Structure 1
């Protein structure tokens, strides 16, 4: 006998999915909430791509593929291969610039000691089309029905490639949201510990300044930059304790449960103070995708004229520059952007608490998201 209630719920879920807002995500790696928050907030992810930046291209693609596989999302969220290198910058020039103006604490895939973690054999993705072309096709497909939002949480190279092929991307999409764009952080970077220096250094723009300048000044209908607000939302022992409790209170079982592997990576030892620096970074990408898909999180924002310093012989090469609109320079191309200054912290942390412990493995089949129960895992 058919379960009419389940069929009805599945039908409603699929109907809501077809009418939901849509987002394309490009990233230089991925944490689980970046993929899960849009779904939790009723959005549809129409495509994702991994690009070179904080990680190599293969590792960016591998991280995204792994997350999609863990949550059984690969069949309904296509993954494409993004940019493999910046438009102009290369490792050699990256090193030359550092020798003139100081080393960066975090050098991403350009670090001399960087080693790939993944191979293409364990990456599931659509090999038929590169990400820039896929992004153009997807934006064109929905431009009249429900324009796609673009979220770029790494270098801007893939989006810049798409713009070079199809400048009308700015008109056909709903807008661009960016993780990056720190400003007025020179004092903090200079006086803080290495991890504080890292947190206040904007490698997303520094890795490919020319692409960032092209993208930020392209004339988007809606350009929103996460900027400094993303630095202040960080993990804590209180959040760790709540996550462990909600997952059943047994850290060892969490660590041995494949579905909870992304949560286990966040928790590590389960003790916030014992985690290493790479496991206690702010919720950078998560914050922006959260207020993109739930604007009620935003408590304060400002509008500015913006540009990227693209002068190689400048200590601020790759840094965001902002001006009041009436004071914007005339000799430099600028864009108009909204910079988010404050969000609802408690609401964000509650969202993080939820998304790690929801059940997404039926999402692609019926559009449903349930409550995860660790006791049901075999």
Structure 2
């Protein structure tokens, strides 16, 4: 957005609506959607300058598009970052970061409580290319320090974690990483910059599945790597060649979703807190995992580094898989889907969906039992959500 002549710094809500807008000669008020695969040049000399990087400008939509640039500028502003590279999905953002920063022989230290696909990427796919990963308990600071090797290049954490909402002390882990000359990347999918800004706490890189809350209505796929320009420039080089690019249309949808990000996150977080408290009182529930509850092991830490507990909770149902599936199957309002971040509440059984492809041993280490359910709270009435879950919990 246009710099203020008096040096005034715009607030989050203003950046969410205004950052990244560059109007064309038509003077359109809403952000323009540029659906084109390539861009024309005024001359052969200009084409050569654009391809070489001597002149700034759009070349080919795999790596340059005005709509994508607007999304990147806006998200970088919200995270307080120098740069941002948008990608086709959250997983492609993590892959792009790893491929841009590491090579065979390098080592990653990752928190154990990661999304199932992220665990698969670090544990099974990157290992094929000689990049090893050590998984450590998310909240054990000594374990991060002990796992460091001479070729460790990256710490990767997810906070709050999926699905148990473990909260990682970002500042403390950043200090351990930086002491060893290692970068810290934080998956900020659950909180978004509306509730948590990892870069301000010492992280070097933030990754997003923009598919989730950044879009906010379950419409499109997208991802992003946000951080220092030195990092995002390397990610951009990988994306330019390898092509895990976001489509301009998806970027446009996410760009518009960012406008209501804080409002949605605050409303959904408030509902999640109310629902979590209700679940704790249900006789069919043995435990609730939600950072906003005083019973959460990292509640105090979460309240320091997050603005609220977020919109995701999980809970253990007494009776294992059979009882958990009964709760899922009894829902009529909540959507049975593994996606999250939607205005519509969703429910899933992690052991057989999001974390179903990792080994039983890995699930056990991560604390993902057969009775665990995850709910991503949307914008419906909390009373209706309670009635929907009560039906299945009643047995």
Do both share a fold (TM > 0.5)? no
What is the TM-score with the length of structure 2 in the denominator? 0.26
Bigger relative contact order (CA 8 A; separation at least 6):
1
What is the TM-score with the length of structure 1 in the denominator? 0.27
